[in-house]
Amino acid sequence: MRSRHFAAAALVAAVGAVTLAACRSDEVLAPAAPQTPPAVTAAVALDQTRREAMAEQFARSLADADFRALVRQSLAQSPMREHKMQFQRWTTQDPMRLRALAGLSARPIEALQAEVLAAPALEFYFPVKGDEERWDGGTNLLVATVGGDHEAPVAFDMAGRRVVLDAKTPPSVPVLALVPQESDFDAPVRTADLYVDDSPGGVTPDPAGLYLTQATYLQSFEGWLKGDPEFDIHVLGKAAGKDSMTTLSCSGRTAQGLYNYRQASLEWTGRALLYTTAQLEAYQAANPGQGFRVFVVEDDDGACVMKTQSTTISNTIATIERLWPQITGGLLKGLPLSKRVEAARALIPFVGAIANFFKTNDDVVGNAVEARVTGEVIPTGNWVVKGENATTTGYLTLELRN
């Protein structure tokens, strides 16, 4: 198997989307102003109310030493990353835990269970490194909750007193987070080391394709109460029958096989498949002249899942297109043993239509652009991740392996 840096002329934006003959190359569509329906606003407010009610109840129950010991033991034994626990499952699967949660409030267990199940899916854990070890099981503990990454957390002490914490800096006292669920508590641990098939022997060589082998980000894009960041990389391309983009492939923490990509810190080295050569060829056969983009997000509330509207993506891509017009696309070319990616014009109208499948709580890290295109000398990698206002947010090493 041969490997060479994916430096072939601007696969940009990690291989940006391509040309439509009917579109002017200098045309940039301005994204529409976001509209938040009243029903969405009401739902968010209701979720916040329920989260805070659960956080207060949890904090008050921790005033009981036996309940604190139970929580501490459960967290220590959790097999999940960061020792996370699913709140509703942990609470309701054992009647003793539910009674303990109801404990000091003397509330009917049935009523409390209904409230627990009505709250948004939650997980609890210690997001600040060292807090789990520093907490000795005593009363020196806050229970905090937050919705979005950049909000100020709301915390409760064991007397139920409410306090708003600093959004950027955690307090000196240990904090137990009760936050919207990001982890898949049912997914088995996956490996990215082998590409497994059903043929005799079960293991085949890695498929030819575009691989990520190194990633560096300049910030975590995650609030301190939400713990480690979770980065996903989407290969975006033309949606079938539409002048808009969709996810062709996603590499992230829940993806299977070689697509599994787990980066929980700012630096990562390894091997993660983004898109196979066979997939590239099939896509280009179905969409002649259309390229694709490699887009990085810090994912919340479900890995590799796009959810609500955000104009940030549209603005990010539009800015990059203005700076490097017509060279932010890429196509796979060459003979079977000498495949390469060459520059191609980017399809500007995709910019206006892309926002409808990204969720606002997924932070946009940026669109990858080949360093040779931007003219930058970067410390690592061969692709630059460009975020809002074309700000550099990270560096990737992409390789096309044949």
Write the DSSP symbol of residue 13.
Answer: T
Please name every residue paired with 210 in a beta bridge, in sequence order, or none if there are none: 275, 400
pTM over 0.85: no
Write the DSSP symbol of residue 252.
Answer: B
User: In sequence order, what E strands does 42-197 have?
Assistant: 85-86, 122-125, 142-145, 154-156, 162-164, 175-180, 195-196
User: How far is 66 from 64, CA to CA, in rounded Å?
Assistant: 6
Written as tens digits, the pLDDT of the chain (402 aa) is 444 444 433 333 333 433 323 333 333 333 344 444 455 467 778 888 899 999 999 999 999 999 999 999 999 999 888 899 999 999 998 888 888 888 766 778 888 889 899 888 999 999 998 999 999 999 999 999 987 767 889 999 999 999 999 988 899 999 999 998 877 787 644 433 333 344 445 556 789 889 999 999 998 777 788 777 888 998 888 877 777 777 888 998 878 889 999 887 889 999 999 999 899 889 888 888 777 888 898 876 555 765 434 567 777 877 887 887 655 445 555 545 555 555 444 454 444 444 444 544 567 888 888 888 888 889 988 899 998 889 999 999 988 887
User: How far is 384 from 294, CA to CA, in rounded Å?
Assistant: 11
User: In a 3-state reduction of DSSP, which class is residue 41?
Assistant: helix
The dihedral through the CA atoms of 65, 66, 67, 69 has a sign that is positive
The dihedral through the CA atoms of 75, 77, 80, 82 has a sign that is positive
DSSP letters for 169-203: S--SS-EEEEEE--S-TTSPP--SS-EE-SSTTSE
Tokens of 90: 């942990």
Per the listing, tokens 């550099």 go with: 392
- On whether the CB atoms of residues 251 and 376 are closer than 8 A, the answer is no
Write the DSSP symbol of residue 288.
Answer: T
